Amino acid sequence: MEDKSNCYTHGEGRTGIGQLVRFSFPVPVGGTKEKDKTAESIREFLKTQIRDIDIPTTGRVNVGHGGYGQYTRYDITQHKYAGGGHPGYGGYIEVLEIKNPPDGRWGIIINEHRSPGGGAFTEWETLENALEAFKRYWSSRETETGFAKIPGFKRRILCSALTPWFYAIGDEELIGDYAFPEGLQDDPVFRFGQQFVTFDHDRIPIIKTCMGTRFLQGKEHDYPYKEYRYRLVYWDDGSVWKDGFNSDTEYSPRPVKESELWITEATRQFRQFLAGQKTEFAIDFTDGSKFVGKLATPKRRVPCAEGDYLMVVQIKGEKKLRQGWVNDFKPTPKYPDIIRYVINGLAKKGQTVEIKHIEIKESRVKKGGKKWAGVFFAPPV
């Protein structure tokens, strides 16, 4: 624990935009000269390295949600909002622009809350993309599948009972896509950050990370003399498990055993596979057996691996063949293979080029490079 009884020196300085900031630091050894030197170095750092300093405050912005509002410590503009329904089957949808997203988080959001189902939000490349998606699906309950078909869609995050990061207040900690909820309690079993084997509705095991727990207690509505007490366990994917509501204890969450850590490794390798970082992977089981996953491709396949390619192209209307190396090709959602990449490069602005023949004469695939575009990065159809 920090000893706050030590002597401190206080000073003031200005950031890069002239914001006045007060600061304090322990009295350095060496007397007044060393103290002045330390203070000056802090002032110089503020001036050259810090643009401005913003103190997190509760209620900086109140974002309207129909008849009520939700506070946030971020600078948010709500561009569109729609809500309605009745208790138990209502909800709202809104287009948000977060103007000061921290730590690389994305600032163009469509936030939804449906009952039942809880909350979810999607990220969009531009505000125009988000507004177009809102225009087409604001009254639909098919946003989960519909949004992914619209240009500019980045990803969807399920929140359920967790608070999305952009509605954090005060000094709540941001953990991934969520604001760490206030009031989460310590638990001897469900500890924050520990992995558990959980089960979905079809009793298929899924590895999830615990975000914390809450204990709720009160009196039954129909039997006021009877008290209830149960535990809510929050998971990293936004879902919640209610202890005491499931009598089938065989399928209750349990900590991941050391012998089951291969499940986490298998998930990690499969995600690398889906991202196009590898074309096959293997998992060794404890009994000596092995699972092998491999991408099956057709015999005639367009090269899409990262690397350098010697290309020969014949364009209609030109007698001379074009030939040369295309260096540092890397598959992307827009250009998943070298052929599409080259054709796009040859096209003139606003025009298309008719290619009679295109051929790969030689290739140098980059070792450890991206193998293919990956299923998660296919462009919308």
Contact partners, residue 48, CB within 8 Å, separation at least 6: 16
- Quote the CA–CA distance of 106 and 123 in Å, as a whole number: 7
Residue among 281, 273, 344, 335 nearest 306 (CA): 335
Q: Tell me, what's the pLDDT at 376?
A: 46
Q: Are 25 and 43 in contact (CB under 8 A)?
A: no
Q: What is the DSSP secondary structure assignment for residue 185, as one 8-state letter?
A: B
Backbone φ, ψ for residue 198 (5° rounding): -115, 175
- Quote the CA–CA distance of 214 and 261 in Å, as a whole number: 27
- The per-residue pLDDT string of the chain (381 residues; one tens digit each, 9 = 90 and over) reads 445 446 777 787 888 877 777 788 887 777 777 878 888 898 889 888 888 787 766 666 778 777 677 888 888 999 999 987 655 556 899 999 999 888 888 999 999 987 656 789 999 999 999 999 999 998 888 888 899 999 999 999 988 767 899 998 877 778 888 887 666 666 778 887 788 888 877 777 788 888 888 877 777 666 666 777 778 888 888 788 888 655 556 678 888 776 666 666 677 777 677 666 677 777 776 666 777 777 666 555 567 788 899 988 888 888 888 888 988 888 876 777 888 888 888 776 555 677 888 888 888 888 877 766 555 444 443
- Quote the CA–CA distance of 190 and 230 in Å, as a whole number: 13
Type of residue at 179: A
- In the beta sheet, which residues pair with residue 144? none
Q: Tell me, what's the pLDDT at 378?
A: 43
Residue among 166, 93, 161, 159 nearest 131 (CA): 93
Q: What is the DSSP secondary structure assignment for residue 143, as one 8-state letter?
A: H
Q: DSSP assignment of 156-176, as one string?
A: EEEEETSEEGGG--TTPPEET
Contact partners, residue 177, CB within 8 Å, separation at least 6: 157, 159, 164, 165, 238
Two tokens, residue 92: 């709202």
Residue among 197, 232, 235 nearest 216 (CA): 232
Q: Are 281 and 273 in contact (CB under 8 A)?
A: yes
Q: What is the dihedral of CA 120, 122, 128, 133, to 10 degrees?
A: -60
Q: Are 312 and 358 in contact (CB under 8 A)?
A: yes
In the chain, domain spans: 8-49, 61-175, 183-256, 259-294, 307-375
Contact partners, residue 217, CB within 8 Å, separation at least 6: 227, 228, 229, 230
Q: Are 282 and 290 in contact (CB under 8 A)?
A: yes
Q: Tell me, what's the pLDDT at 2?
A: 46
Q: Tell me, what's the pLDDT at 249?
A: 65
Q: What angle do CA 22, 24, 29 make, to 5 degrees?
A: 145
Contact partners, residue 371, CB within 8 Å, separation at least 6: 276, 277, 278, 279, 304, 305, 306
- Quote the CA–CA distance of 275 and 376 in Å, as a whole number: 6
pTM: 0.49
Q: Tell me, what's the pLDDT at 134?
A: 95
Q: Are 264 and 208 in contact (CB under 8 A)?
A: no
* CA atoms in the 13 A half-sphere facing the CB of 17: 4
- In the beta sheet, which residues pair with residue 283? 291
Q: Tell me, what's the pLDDT at 65?
A: 76
Q: Please state which CATH number belongs to domain 183-256.
A: 2.30.30
Q: In what order do the strands lie in the sheet with 254-255?
A: 240-243, 227-235, 205-219, 195-199, 254-255
- Count the Cβ atoms, other than its own, within 10 Å of residue 374: 19
- Quote the CA–CA distance of 174 and 164 in Å, as a whole number: 9
Q: Tell me, what's the pLDDT at 93?
A: 93
- Quote the CA–CA distance of 22 and 375 in Å, as a whole number: 51
- Quote the CA–CA distance of 181 and 210 in Å, as a whole number: 13
Two tokens, residue 283: 């998992």
